[in-house]
């Protein structure tokens, strides 16, 4: 465990040197504050609104931004170090490949967690500072959104590692990472929407709809944050959520499985790769 923590601290220090932590935190904070004060667009209102509306806005932002940040952090985690020759040096010490991978994972998750907590937390603090009444249920939903946002980032960090372990060049890994982001964030939902339109207004069987939603981690995240509680009224997800049979626990378990599966594949790929 000590070796894992050493690698994790190394990744955090590199993130600080490369300004990754500062850049992602400032970006998330700026966008979150903008959405809080000007972005009640999901309800058609302008101005500061309840925290529930902010949750809808931030969840929609997260679906686009957090996966991209996670992939940019992780796509060259293995192949980049191999190109620079630092991986060979690192593995010359008494440390296993799985320990290196897990340490990198913890370091990158720490960076994402810090950026998400302080970036999005700034929006909640600013909202509370205006004197807006926020009940306990809204605070709980906001905390759940923060936790699920970090978990969504973990999914795409793990996917980035898998890609990084497969390819031989950083440029290739970067291109594949962007393609993965486009597929899960844009193309998959467009294809799903096309399937619903092709159904001619007939509802898909609930089991099929549940499966299609779980096959995309961003849709799983969307259902968790926008398909339950007060957010359903603002997000327009009430119809889909009512037809789907997915509980919040099932959705969180699906995100956890989406993290474990590619991370395991990345470990297997890395363990068989020649330096």
The per-residue DSSP string of 159-191 comes to HHHHHHHH-S-HHHHHHHHHHHHHIIIIIHHHH
- Distance CA(163)–CA(169), nearest Å, equals 11
Looking at the 3D structure of the chain, how many domains does it have?
A: 1
Q: How confident is the model at residue 129 (pLDDT cuts 50, 70, 90)?
A: confident
200 by Cβ neighbours in 10 Å (0-12 / 13-18 / 19+) ranks as exposed
Query: Can you say how many angstroms the Cα of residue 254 is from the centroid of all Cα atoms in its chain?
Result: 13
Cβ distance 103 to 14 under 8 Å?
A: no
Give the pLDDT of residue 14: 84
> What pTM value is reported for the model?
0.87
Cβ distance 213 to 250 under 8 Å?
A: no
Half-sphere exposure of 51 (CA within 13 A, CB side): 27
Q: What number is the average pLDDT over the span 13-39?
A: 80
Q: How confident is the model at residue 248 (pLDDT cuts 50, 70, 90)?
A: confident
Give the pLDDT of residue 252: 93
Residue 190 belongs to domain spanning: 2-271
| Of 145 and 239, more confident | 145
SS3 content of the chain, % helix, strand, coil (to 5): 80, 0, 20
- The 10s digit of each residue's pLDDT in 174-193 is 999 999 999 999 999 888 88
Give the pLDDT of residue 55: 83
Residue 226 has pLDDT above 90, yes or no: no
Which of 71, 266, 25 is closest to 184 using CA atoms? 71
Q: What is the average pLDDT score of the chain?
A: 83
Residue 104 has pLDDT above 90, yes or no: yes
């Amino acid at each position: 465990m000590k070796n894992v923590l050493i690698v994790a601290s190394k990744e955090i220090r590199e993130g600080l040197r490369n300004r990754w932590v500062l850049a992602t935190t400032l970006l998330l904070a700026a966008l979150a504050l903008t959405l809080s004060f000007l972005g009640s667009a999901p309800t058609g209102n302008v101005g500061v609104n309840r925290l529930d509306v902010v949750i809808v806005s931030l969840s929609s932002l997260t679906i686009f931004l957090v996966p991209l940040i996670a992939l940019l952090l992780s796509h060259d985690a293995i192949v980049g170090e191999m190109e620079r020759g630092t991986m060979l040096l690192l593995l010359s010490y008494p440390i296993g490949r799985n320990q290196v991978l897990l340490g990198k994972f913890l370091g990158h998750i720490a960076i994402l967690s810090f950026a998400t907590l302080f970036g999005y937390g700034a929006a909640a603090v600013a909202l509370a500072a205006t004197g807006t009444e926020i009940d306990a249920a809204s605070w709980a939903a906001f905390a759940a959104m923060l936790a699920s946002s970090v978990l969504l980032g973990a999914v795409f960090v793990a996917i980035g590692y898998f890609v990084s372990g497969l390819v031989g060049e950083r440029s290739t890994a970067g291109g594949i990472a962007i393609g993965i982001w486009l597929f899960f964030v844009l193309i998959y939902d467009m294809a799903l929407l096309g399937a619903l339109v092709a159904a001619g207004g007939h509802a898909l069987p609930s089991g099929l709809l549940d499966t299609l939603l779980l096959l995309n981690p961003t849709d799983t995240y969307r259902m968790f944050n926008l398909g339950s509680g007060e957010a359903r009224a603002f997000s327009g997800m009430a119809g889909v959520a009512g037809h789907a049979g997915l509980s919040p626990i099932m959705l969180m378990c699906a995100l956890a499985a989406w993290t474990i599966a590619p991370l395991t594949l990345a470990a297997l790929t890395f363990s068989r790769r020649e330096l």
